[in-house]
């Protein structure tokens, strides 16, 4: 079986296992990836919801904060950000939309955006979202991120409205969240893995683990012919030949697959 | 160098794994996450509010019988059950509304029972705080019993009155409303007033035929 097909199967199986709620499987664990507990089929809790609840209006609950961080930390220490590439259902969604985004790369405006120097700095947005919207605003004002979360809208709000017609009315944040969902869809259809690159707060938690994780992707720089095929195929837009344990790498293995010299490889420690 | 790295990696993993294990074994975090995030519908994550319907019904949400404390208190007057929990923005909005409506002195994080007054009539009032460990299971179970529209969201307000069933019996007849249900204090008080007026109308019509021992 081809490597990328194996990865697709892994993503599909995890997406199914994250949605076994209708079979009665509701656990007290947090997902080690980004998925909404408000999805009617969800089996576990969103790690961000647990973090939000831990700091809500400064009523600090250490266990609700440490618990999702340990779950993410455990997987992060072993596999780094491979969770994003191999397990996250929103990653699976973006794998589908990424094909459209790849085709759009031909257009000069998209190319220009991709090559803009500021694009690299824009990737820090996810850290601001994590500390600003998930932690700070929740502590000082009240829930904010989950109120406007596009993934919650996509996997929670829409299925709930379909399954319970006439049972709910739109809340205060419905329309702002709907606009954010539209922007989210535009983003993932125009930029490959746009959500993971710029906005995902769970990705922001997992990213630093790439620096120390057991599993990582390495490049034999001495033998690199600088053909750049790896970078062109990288869904995260990483400069692969020059990367050293890049926090953005989701270990999808596309660069490993396409390297003509086979000098990019997975490595344990 | 590599050996040192492997050892520090192993230690990091061990700390991570053992802390997680200890957290699961020595705290009730697993149950807390399950009951407060996974099992309860997060209305703020959904950006939705349940549609408020004041229709009374005889059918309990999970088909189970009304508990004894409800049947006994029904002989005093229509019962008001107020459900709330930790970290719930809509609960925070509604807490002072209910306090003002019944003129109560309440602590937000403690389950509580009292006899309240509405237009000088008796209302057995139960404040059921789901995260208060001292709340009895009997009280907690009523959350699933009276979740009329199967919302599983908080806050939830149930009024149990009396109704005449087609079989000829006088039985508990209840309705449940959810969340902050209106836009401002005035509208919320007005809706609660209409609800309690209806509950007392039903109660006064049927109380003569009610016997909680049946």
CA distance B92 to B103: 17
> What pTM does this model have?
0.83
Smallest Cα distance from A130 to chain B, Å: 16
Nearest residue on chain B to A30, alpha-carbon basis: B33
Mutation target to probe the B interface, by most B beta carbons within 10 A, among A20, A52, A53, A137 is A53
Give the start-end residues of each E strand in B47-155.
Answer: 48-50, 79-84, 112-118, 121-129
Q: Can you list the residues of chain B whose pLDDT is less than 50?
A: none
Per the CB < 8 Å rule, is B16 touching A74?
yes
Nearest residue on chain B to A73, alpha-carbon basis: B16
Residue A10 has phi, psi (to 5 degrees) of -60, -45
Nearest of B48, B56, B39, B27 to residue B144 by alpha carbon = B39
Residues 191-250 of A with CB under 8 A from B: 212, 214
Nearest to A28 among B31, B45, B87 (CB): B31
Sequence-ordered alpha helix ranges (H) in chain B? 2-26, 29-33, 43-46, 68-73, 89-102, 137-145, 185-206
Q: Give the relative orientation of helices A47-55 and A62-79 as an angle to the nearest 10 degrees.
A: 150
User: Could you report the predicted ipTM of this complex, rounded to two decimals?
Assistant: 0.88
CA distance B143 to A195: 38
Per the CB < 8 Å rule, is B50 touching A49?
no
Residue A150 has phi, psi (to 5 degrees) of -70, -30
Tell me the three state secondary structure of residue B52.
Answer: coil
Asked if A114 has any chain B CB less than 8 Å from its own CB, the reply is: no
Smallest Cα distance from A123 to chain B, Å: 25
pLDDT in tens, chain A (269 residues): 688 999 999 999 999 999 999 999 999 999 999 999 999 999 999 999 999 999 988 778 899 999 999 999 999 999 999 999 999 999 999 999 998 988 887 777 777 776 777 888 899 999 999 999 999 999 998 888 999 999 999 999 999 999 988 888 898 899 999 999 999 999 999 999 999 999 999 999 999 999 989 899 999 999 999 999 999 999 999 999 999 999 999 999 999 999 999 999 999 87
B7 contacts: CB under 8 Å, gap ≥ 6: none
Looking at CATH, the fold of the domain delimited by B43-209 is given as Glutaredoxin (3.40.30)
């Amino acid at each position: 079986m081809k490597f990328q097909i194996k990865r697709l199967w892994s993503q599909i199986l995890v997406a199914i296992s994250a949605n076994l709620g209708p079979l009665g499987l509701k656990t007290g664990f947090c997902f080690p990836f980004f998925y909404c507990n408000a999805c009617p089929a969800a089996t576990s809790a969103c790690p961000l919801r647990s973090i939000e609840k831990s700091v809500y209006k400064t009523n600090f609950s250490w266990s609700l904060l440490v618990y999702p961080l340990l779950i993410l930390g455990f997987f992060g220490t072993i596999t780094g950000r491979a969770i994003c590439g191999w397990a996250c259902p929103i990653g699976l969604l973006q794998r589908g939309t990424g094909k459209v985004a790849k085709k759009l790369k031909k257009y000069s405006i998209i190319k220009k955006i991709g090559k803009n120097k500021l694009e690299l700095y824009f990737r820090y947005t996810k850290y601001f979202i994590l500390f600003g919207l998930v932690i700070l605003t929740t502590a000082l004002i009240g829930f904010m991120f989950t109120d406007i979360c596009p993934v919650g809208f996509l996997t929670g709000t829409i299925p709930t409205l379909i399954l319970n017609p006439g049972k709910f009315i739109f809340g205060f944040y419905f329309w702002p969240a709907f606009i954010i969902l539209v922007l989210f869809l535009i983003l993932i259809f125009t930029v490959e893995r746009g959500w993971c690159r710029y906005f995902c707060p769970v990705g922001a938690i997992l990213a630093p683990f790439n620096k120390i994780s057991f599993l990582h992707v390495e490049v034999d720089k001495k033998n690199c012919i600088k053909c750049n095929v790896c970078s062109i195929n990288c869904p995260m837009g990483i400069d692969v030949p020059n990367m050293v344990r890049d926090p953005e790498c989701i270990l999808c293995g596309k660069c490993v697959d396409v390297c003509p010299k086979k000098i990019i490889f997975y490595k344990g420690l | 160098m590599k050996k040192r790295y492997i050892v520090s990696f192993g230690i990091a993993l061990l700390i991570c794994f053992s802390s997680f294990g200890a957290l699961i074994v020595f705290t009730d975090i697993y149950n807390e996450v399950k009951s407060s995030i996974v099992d309860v519908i997060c209305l703020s994550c959904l950006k939705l509010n349940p549609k408020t319907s004041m229709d009374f019904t005889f059918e309990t949400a999970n088909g189970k019988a009304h508990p004894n404390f409800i049947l006994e208190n029904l002989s005093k007057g229509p019962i008001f059950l107020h459900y709330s929990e930790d970290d719930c923005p809509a609960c925070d909005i509604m807490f002072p509304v209910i306090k003002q409506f019944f003129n109560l002195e309440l602590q937000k994080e403690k389950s509580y029972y009292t006899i309240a007054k509405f237009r000088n009539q008796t209302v057995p009032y139960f404040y059921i705080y789901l995260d208060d460990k001292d709340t009895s299971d009997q009280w907690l179970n009523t959350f699933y019993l009276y979740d009329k529209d199967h919302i599983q969201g908080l806050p939830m307000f149930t009024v149990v009155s009396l109704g005449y069933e087609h079989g000829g019996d006088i039985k508990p007849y209840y309705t449940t409303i959810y969340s902050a249900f209106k836009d401002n204090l005035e509208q919320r008080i007005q809706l609660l007033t209409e609800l309690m007026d209806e509950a007392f109308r039903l109660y006064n019509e049927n109380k003569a035929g009610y016997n909680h021992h049946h």
